[in-house]
Every structure is written in structure tokens, then in C-alpha cells.
Structure 1
Amino acid sequence: METTELLKKVRQIEIKTRGLSRNIFAGQYHTAFKGRGMAFSEVREYQFGDDVRDIDWNVTARHHKPYIKVFEEERELTVMLLIDVSGSRNFGAVGESKKEVITEIAATLAFSAIQNNDKIGVIFFSDQIEKFIPPKKGKKHILYIIRELIDFQPEHTGTNLSLVLEYLTNAIKKRCTAFFISDFITEENFKNALSIANRKHDVVAVQVYDKRETELPNVGLMKMQDSERGEEKWIDTSSKRVRDTYSQWWSQRQSRVLDAARKSRVDITAIATDENYVLALMNLFKHRG
């Protein structure tokens, strides 16, 4: 994308998503993600009603009377965006393309994070780790992230969800909130990696899909292409058996994704490209608040 066109697109995304995060999400985001960790603050003398599990036995032994550790919520969070840049993100038959919707959702979350004084970083992934942007604060950093969301060109087209979850677990040492944004089109079993990542971090899954992906239209012979492997084949969509088989495939794959999230205790929201992602994100925040 040419520089002037890219800057214009960045500005459009900034105006739209910064307004959304300031006017709509500020309170919900803060309530949903504030102080997920607890930081040691001070010690003080034990008072009636304090939790005995908070007693600092070393200080108690020195002073010959009980003292407890006082903790406070960590207000500053680190937020990571895990962005799927595999080939399937370019699909868009109903509404905007998945890439466009993912970009707007990620930008909205990024502006919400800096308004909450949080650091924000990004991991772009396909079946490889394509790019890692370390978490920082500030508007300049956010605009750099938006430029990359719009214009980043991955080297690979496949998908490996477990790989990016393992990378998150190993690369980010301090507990963070991680928004895992993907269409989750994969036959891979990533539940184990998701469970491990969510034990260390606070993982939230955001699925972006196109409604045309959920069922085949009855339009006769249709050439379909696997956007991740490049394979093409003709299928007869006038066959009810073919359409039913495809719908069954989608339902089973979707059930596996939701089951992986449920068993890993990860909140997930599914957003179609022609739906209002603002409403979906607000419902997600309210659920966590």
C-alpha cells in the first residue's frame, strides 16, 4: 500500500476506533480487566478479622506480634493482541473482509488499553511467528500498531494456534491480558496450549468469521480455493448431501473451538463480519465485569 493511502487508512481507523474506545468502552474495559494481578504493598499489624493466611511470619517473629502483608490491585496491565494473519483472513463475502474487521477490533482494544494506562503489544502469527511488537505505551506506539495491522504482509499462509499460545506463554514473563483474535479455521487440537497459556495469563478469544463460511449456497458448480494451501476444486452445491456435509463440518469444527475455550476457562465471543462488533465486545466486557 502506498504511503499516502496507508496514512489515510490509519487516520480513518484511528478516528473511528479511538472514538469507540473513549465513548463506549472506557468504563466496561476498565471494569472487565482492571487489577487482575495483586502486588505487595506493605506490612501492618494484624487486626481482628484479617485473613491469617496473609500473616508475614518473618516480620511477626522479629516484632513478637503478628503482622500481615497488604496487597493492592495492579492497575497497570500489559495487553497482548494475538493476531491471525493466515491466508483465510482475506476472505470476505458478506460485509467487510475478516482482515478489516480484525483490524478495527484490534485498534479499538489498543486505544481502550492506553486510555486505561496499559501497555500494549502484538504477536502476528500464521503457522509461524511472523512478527512480535513488544508492549509499550503511548499514541505513537498505537499508530505504529495500526499501520502494521493494515499493511503487514506475512511470509506464510497456514495456521498454527498452539505455536502462538506457546510463544505467548514463554515470551511474556509477567501476567498479561491476551486477546486471541482469529477465525479459528483449523483442524488442530489446540486445547492443551490454550489451557497452559490461560493459567499463566488472562486469555480472551475473539473469533471473526464470515457467514458464507458456515453454509454453502445452492448455486450449482462452484470452484473453491483453500486460501491457506492454495488448493482448488470444483464442488456441486446443488447437491443437498454436499451442502449438508459442509454444514456438518462447520458445526463440528465450531463445537471443537467452543469446547476448547470452555475446558480452558477462556471467555470467547464470535463476531460475524456483517455484525456489530461494538455490541459483541460490550457484551463480552459486561460478562467479565
Structure 2
Amino acid sequence: MWFTQKKSTEQDNPQVLLDELDSNGIDLTIEELIRYQTKSSLINLAAAKSLHGKMSGNYLARSKGRGMEFDEVRHYQNGDDIRAIDWRVTARTGQTHTKLFREEIERPVLIASDLSTSMFFGSRLLFKSVQAAHVAALVAWHAKSRGDRIGGVVFNQYAHTELKPRSRQQGVLHYLHALVESHANSAIKSTEALDHQQAKLAFEQNCARLRQLAKPGSLVYLITDGYNLTDEAVRHLANISRHCELVVCLISDPLEQQLPESKSKISVAITNGTDNDGDDRQQLILGDKAIAEQYHQQAMALNSTMEEKLTKAGARLLHFCASEALETQLNRGVASWIR
């Protein structure tokens, strides 16, 4: 189910919450992402039990094989597997050598962060794009603590940045700096008129690229609001889920789910454009229960359709709201990270 935001109390002062998050809710800084290094225990990225095919490392993966990485060669000894003989070294030295392998104890964690124009919206605490970055940071820091390699894609409808999986802290910082830089560039672009078709096509293309980057056995996180999801994008995601563990984090804002309450009827203008002459201008009446219910039902229908498509594609869904601190939602158990 999608979140409904609880009513504000005196303790829920937005500025106090923003200060705690080291954020202004709109822009993104490396400092606010680094703070999640101490919050990594909030989640658990253990491989899902439904994955099949054992590897020699810590995880159950969809890929088949020994799950071993080449380490070194040494002289052949009685009892060594003849299939591991290194014939090139043997021919060069004139003595039989065998390959040694080490257990594979890490897996790639790919994080795809959607910073499209629709993500630059927030009605209460954070922009959806900022919350998406917080989720990505938390996943990255936890993956690092497990010894996994971190990489992925940061994209919008204009450009994307690919980051090959890296191990240790450098992998995390590489991704976080890419998030901050891409977020700043996307924020500038978000003031331009929104081309819906371009945004949907770009989303499809980035899902296709993620499909190429995701090696069998990888853990793949897609963080988005789902507004640009198409059937073609779903097809790419379904292909990813056949060989990898796919988790889709859907970021929402309360205003996208239901209209604000009003004791009196107020007419407001809304637009999908970037100024007062934007396209798709409409009038809404706040305080009209019938209109509010219709708005809510339409939003829930769109959410349900999107969830159904993603679930059929084999994705596990997690929902996060931009109007509440990430750790508050996790502590309350809103998202089922712990298996």
C-alpha cells in the first residue's frame, strides 16, 4: 500500500527534521549522503531465499557454476583436479601448473537512480529526488559493509552516468559523488518544459542499459517514482529479474495521492508546465469531498496498475514517501527490508 502522511504535530517541525538530515530538502550534498554510513544497520541486503543455484560465496544466486574467481597458479600436486591445469604456463615453463581459485564472497550491487523531472517535486519535507538519493546512499553503505561491490546508473531524460561496480569505500563515494553532480545538473534541466515522450523513451533506454550491466547473480535496485514506466521498460526489468534479484523502490509524495484538506472550498490552478502558461492547466476545488475522493481513487488506480506490472516482472516492491525521514519509515517497519 502507498503511504498516507500522518498529521503534523509540534514535534514534526520540518526545519528541525531538515537540520537533522543535514538537508534543505531541495538540493543534494555529499554530507547528507555520508551520514547514512552510520545508518546501514537499518536494512539487510541478504539474498532472497527464492533464488536458486548455489555459489561458493555467501549468497544464493540465479547463476550456475562454481562461484569461484581465479587467484594464482602453482605447481601441480597429486590429487589436484586435472581440469584446473594451466596449459599455457605448463607449456612455457615445462612443468605442470594448476590454477587456484578463491571463493566468491561478494556480489555486484547495482543502483539505478532516476532523477527525471517528475522526481523534482515535494510538498512537505523533501523532493522525491532527494529522498531517492537518501535511499541509494543507504543501500550503497550497507552493501559496502557486507563487502559487496557497488555500481550502477544515475539518469534523467537528458543524460546518464554509468559506474562500474567497485569494492570498498571508493565504490560508495564514487556513486554518491555521481548522485550529487547529476542531481545538480538535473535540477537545472527540471525548469525546462517537460517532454513526456522523451522522458518515457529515456527511461526505457536506461532500463535496457541496466539490463546489459546486470551480471547474473547481481542485486539490482531501481529507485524511481514510476511515472515514466512503459511496457517496454517492464520487459527489460523482467529480463533482469530472471537472472538477478530486482528490487524497485517507489518514491511518492502525499500530494500525489490525495488533495489537502480544506474547511472551505478553494479553487486552485494546476499545470504540468513550468510557468503560468504551461500545458494541461486544470482547476481543482479544495474542500470538495467528491472531487477529493475522485482524485484519490484515480491515483490509487494508477498505483495499482504500476504495482501489478512490476510484480509480474519479478520485482520486489518497496514504497517510500518524500514527506518523512527515511530512517523514521524504516524504524516503523514501513518497508520490509529485513527478511
Q: Deviations over 1:185-235 (max 9, x none)?
A: 236334322211211321101011111111223562323232699635141
Task: Choose from 217, 221, 231 the match for 2:267.
Answer: 221
Aligned pair 1:40/2:66, yes or no?
yes
Query: 1:223 is matched by which residue type in structure 2?
Result: A
Tell me, in whole angstroms, the C-alpha distance in 2 between the residues paired with 1:35 and 1:73. Answer: 11
The answer on whether the counterparts of 2:42 and 2:330 sit within 8 Å (CA) in structure 1 is: no
> 2:42 matched to 1:24?
yes
1:117 Cα deviation after fit: 1.1
Q: Is 2:190 the partner of 1:138?
A: no
Identity of aligned residues (%): 16
CA distance in 2, matches of 1:74, 1:148: 28
Give 1:182's aligned amino acid.
T
Q: Would you say 1:11 and 2:31 are equivalent positions?
A: yes
Deviation larger for 141-150 or 236-245: 236-245
Give the corresponding residue for 1:165: 207
The amino acid that maps onto 1:117 is G
Residue 321 (structure 2) pairs with residue 285 (structure 1): no
Which secondary structure state, in structure 1, belongs to the residue aligned with residue 324 of structure 2? coil
Deviates more, 1:134-143 or 1:275-284: 275-284
Q: Which amino acid aligns with 1:20?
A: K
Residue 151 of structure 2: aligned partner: 121
TM-score, normalised by the number of residues in structure 1? 0.74
Please tell me whether residue 243 in structure 1 is matched to residue 292 in structure 2.
yes
Query: Quick one: which amino acid aligns to residue 17 of structure 1?
Result: Y
Number of the residue aligned with 1:85: 115
- Residue identity opposite 1:250 in structure 2: A
1:108 to 128, 133, 138: 138
The alignment status of 1:207 with 2:216, answered yes or no, reads no
- Mapped contact 1:85–1:125 kept (Cα < 8 A): yes
Displacement, 1:166? 1.6
- Relative distance call for 1:284 and 1:92 in structure 2 (3 A) is same
Does structure 1 residue 196 correspond to structure 2 residue 239? yes
> Within 1, Cα distance between the matches of 2:226 and 2:273?
14
Whether the 8 Å CA contact 1:175–1:200 is kept in 2: the answer is yes
Aligned to 1:269: 318
User: For the aligned residues, what is the CA RMSD?
Assistant: 3.4
Gaps of 5+ in 2: 1-22, 50-57, 69-82, 84-101
Structure 2 residue matching 1:132: 3-state secondary structure: strand
3-state secondary structure, aligned to 2:60: coil
Shift of 1:74: 4.3
Looking at structure 2, the residues matched to 276 and 191 of structure 1 have their Cα atoms a distance apart, in angstroms, of: 29
* TM-score, length-scaled by structure 2: 0.64
- Taking the aligned partners of 1:135 and 1:248, their CA distance within structure 2 comes to 41
Matched residue count: 251
Contact 2:47 2:60 in 1 (8 A): no
> Does structure 2 conserve the Cα–Cα contact (< 8 Å) formed by 1:83 and 1:124?
yes
Contact 1:80 1:123 in 2 (8 A): yes
Pick the structure with greater CA Rg.
2
Report the Cα distance in structure 1 between the residues aligned to 2:146 and 2:234, rounded to whole angstroms.
30
1:266 deviates by 1.4
Distance 2:160 2:174 in 1: 16
